[in-house]
Structure 1
Amino acid sequence: MNSSGPSGSASVGRCDVLIAGGGPAGCAAALALVRAGARVALVAPMGTPDWRVGESLAPDARPLLQRLGMLDRLAADRHAPCYGNQAAWGRDALTAVDYRFGPYGEGWHLDRSRFDAAFLEAARAGGACWHSGHVRGAQWQHGHWQITTGGGSVLQAGYLVDATGRAARLARRAGATLIRSDRLIAVAGLLGPPRTKKVEWERTSLVESTGWGWWYNAPLPGGGRVVMAMTDADLLAGSHLLDPGVWWAQAHRTGHVRDRIARWKGPPRRLRVLAVGSSCASPAAGPGWVAVGDAATATDPLAARGIVSALATGLVAARAILADRAGDTDALAAYARRTTAIHAEYLRAHAAQYRREQRWDTPFWGRRHQGAAE
């Protein structure tokens, strides 16, 4: 990356594309762009959070990982196999989807920190220039972006990619509206290794609905387990799920989740509250900028498509930027239209899935059935 500046002043780095965010969406865009010869700057914090939603990866990510050159790395990092998912939804009995009979075979239970670190490492090795920190300011002027980072760097870029997640901070700053469909939150707990090593590991994720929402449960590489209670933000106080003891007791009032955690000691030492509702940026692109991943289209964990969507939007956004640079004046608008259409189709499928659960007449389910009927 070139830099210049008068003596004694901060230098200005120049690049073709600046990507804010170092998750799978931002790194997928970076990998595609640097391989096409673009100068890319990636602004992302050093390290990864100790907890992120997205510990299971569906097998339909396989072609995307192959295209990005990351499939072999995923195998080398020894993430655990995921054979499918089970659900007690609409009835007490479990239904199951077995990935092994699908076109791509098994999926993965991820060590998410290792997964994200591998993508960032690949983007840097491919030629992306990494700046540790966050984007603090971004202004579009004279046909380029003037960007400042938390570390004091000043960068100029022809294009800005918002990979900042559900908040879509930069897309909103560029003029997009964030449209939220619900206020779903997850109260998440991590369980360490079980009390006994004599555990027959299941290799599936599990969903189980309840009156105030639903539970999600999945094994993690290394013997841990993630358990999340999903409800709406305004219902959280009444459910008392922020109390680890109540959270643990509620988990044991279920049928199938209780069986999954029977050999684990609880409650967890702490719980984390995560925003996991559905939203989209409207539009998801404009002159000189695009949103990718959750910043473009954020989906309910029930859909199990967050990482796949991140990789796909990163790749398609990179292609749109390259087309725009080559003179296709409709490329970015076409990306925005495509993202809107995909999110609309997701919302239809999302409503149909929630409509299948009719056992409870409670605020959580009532508002979803009402929304599905409109």
Structure 2
Amino acid sequence: MVGARVAGASTAMLLARAGARVLLLDRGRRGADMVSTHALMRAGVLQLSRWGLLERVVAAGTPAITSTTFRYPGEAPVTVAIRPSPGVEALYAPRRTVLDAILVDAAVEAGVEVRHATAVTGLLRDDTGRVRGVRTSGGDLAARYVVGADGVRSLVAAEAGAALLAAGRHRSAVRYTYVDLDADADAAGGGTQWLYGDGVAGGVIPTGGGASCVFVSSTPARLGRMRSEDQWRAALSEMAPGHPAVDARRVDRFHGWSGLPGVLRQASGPGWVLVGDAGFYKDPMSTHGITDALRDAELAANAVVAALAGDHSALPAFGHLRDELARPMLDVSDRIASYSWRGAGVVPLVKELSVAMADEVVLLEGLAAVAEGAA
């Protein structure tokens, strides 16, 4: 496994739980923070619950999110209660320093060997061209399968020659920070807030410790002109007049992301597999990156286990299923990231995104039923 973040650690854990011998490599240090939207959608919470890890997320102080409020230009806010379902009593948005550590710890408990501060520099191949391991800063390592979970700029994908299946045309630039909303929880609504203006969007996401992640996103050109904190807060105020987050005390520095267009890459080939952003990256305004990583971790792990047992159709089938789920998400996320909508013109796009999310939940609930039947 190359990459010990959400997708890599989850896939490694599931492979080890299934009896595979797994080595998990990451070039970074354990517990390092990273740019993230934090928000787990229903399908992501369901996965953590099924794997027995949701309790750890809650124990780390991550607050339950029981409602979502949408604020569209010129319209009254619309608040939707989170409907409880088996395994999903609420939504959560853990900091990556919390979630990633939980997943790595669970992988170790399952028997995975983890090596941080280990850079992968290339792939090894046999005489037929099949990938048979990786070249690292510490030497060559052999493997029957190399799983690349090394992000949108994946070295594994580049070295393997993964074909580009689809690509977006637009990208969101995002600037976010954390503010203290603990004292204003009731005024803030106690849930996630998704904000939309004319060609700009934002959000308020409770993450734990009394802090909420607050972001503003738009085109790179527009966000580039938003140079001061006052300008950032003014954009927030335009989308959510009077919201406590607008004037809340900042408890962290600003973080930013200049954006990349979405990509969908070939999911697997001889001796290699891609999961997470390495295989499928969509604009962060989808707020679905973590959830998709957890989904594909299970689909890919199941396929690798089957391939190790001799089922040569398993990995192509994984790619086909992932592509069916990914293409609608990539398409609507890219249209949102155009920021060409004005006023309530974004509403149909948000609804279309919700439909794509619902299809994913149906799939994962089906996997849960199969697992219960096998047990």
TM-score by length of 1: 0.80
Contact 2:171 2:337 survives alignment (8 Å): no
Contact 2:203 2:216 survives alignment (8 Å): yes
Q: Which has the higher strand share?
A: 1
- Which of 145, 148, 151 is 1:162 aligned to? 148
**Higher mean C-alpha deviation, range 129-138 or range 90-99:** 90-99
- 1:130 maps to a residue whose letter is V
Shift of 1:269: 4.4
Shift of 1:48: 3.6
- Which of 158, 161, 186 is 1:172 aligned to? 158
Shift of 1:42: 0.4
Q: Which residue of 1 is the match for residue 256 of structure 2?
A: 272
- Which of 287, 290, 296 is 2:273 aligned to? 290
1:342-369 Cα deviation digits (max 9, x unpaired): 112324554787899953599xx8xx9x
Q: Which residue of 2 is the match for residue 372 of structure 1?
A: none
Contact 1:205 1:218 survives alignment (8 Å): yes
Shift of 1:225: 2.2
- Which of 21, 29, 40 is 1:39 aligned to? 21
Contact 2:169 2:334 survives alignment (8 Å): no
What count of residue pairs does the alignment treat as equivalent?
340
Q: Which residue of 2 is the match for residue 337 of structure 1?
A: 320
Change (3 A) 1:266 1:331: closer
Contact 1:183 1:233 survives alignment (8 Å): no
Distance in 2 of aligned mates of 1:355 and 1:236: 13
Shift of 1:161: 0.8
CA RMSD of the aligned region, Å?
3.1
Shift of 1:262: 4.0
Q: Does 1:184 align with 2:171?
A: yes
Contact 2:68 2:81 survives alignment (8 Å): yes
Change (3 A) 1:336 1:136: same
SS in 2 for 1:329: coil
Distance in 1 of aligned mates of 2:313 and 2:58: 38
Change (3 A) 1:32 1:245: same
- Which of 223, 230, 233 is 2:220 aligned to? 233
Contact 1:189 1:272 survives alignment (8 Å): yes
Change (3 A) 1:215 1:262: closer
Structure number with bigger Rg: 1
TM-score by length of 2: 0.80
- Which of 204, 209, 226 is 2:191 aligned to? 204
Contact 2:73 2:344 survives alignment (8 Å): no
Distance in 2 of aligned mates of 1:299 and 1:73: 28
Contact 1:184 1:230 survives alignment (8 Å): no
Change (3 A) 1:219 1:36: closer
Distance in 1 of aligned mates of 2:255 and 2:93: 21
SS in 2 for 1:108: coil
Q: Which residue of 1 is the match for residue 126 of structure 2?
A: 141
Q: Which residue of 1 is the match for residue 365 of structure 2?
A: none
Contact 1:162 1:170 survives alignment (8 Å): yes
- 1:243 maps to a residue whose letter is S
Distance in 2 of aligned mates of 1:177 and 1:223: 44
Q: Which residue of 1 is the match for residue 62 of structure 2?
A: 79
Distance in 2 of aligned mates of 1:136 and 1:242: 37
1:246-281 Cα deviation digits (max 9, x unpaired): 22332233335x513144136974342253653211
- Which of 289, 293, 299 is 1:310 aligned to? 293
Distance in 2 of aligned mates of 1:171 and 1:241: 35
Shift of 1:156: 1.1
Distance in 2 of aligned mates of 1:310 and 1:275: 18
Q: Which residue of 2 is the match for residue 9 of structure 1?
A: none
- 1:209 maps to a residue whose letter is Y
Q: Which residue of 2 is the match for residue 325 of structure 1?
A: 308
Q: Does 1:28 align with 2:14?
A: no
- 1:183 maps to a residue whose letter is H
The runs of 5 or more residues in structure 2 that have no matched partner are 350-375
Q: Which residue of 1 is the match for residue 363 of structure 2?
A: none
Q: Percentage identity across aligned positions? A: 24
Change (3 A) 1:48 1:245: farther
1:25-52 Cα deviation digits (max 9, x unpaired): 1112111111222111101222344343
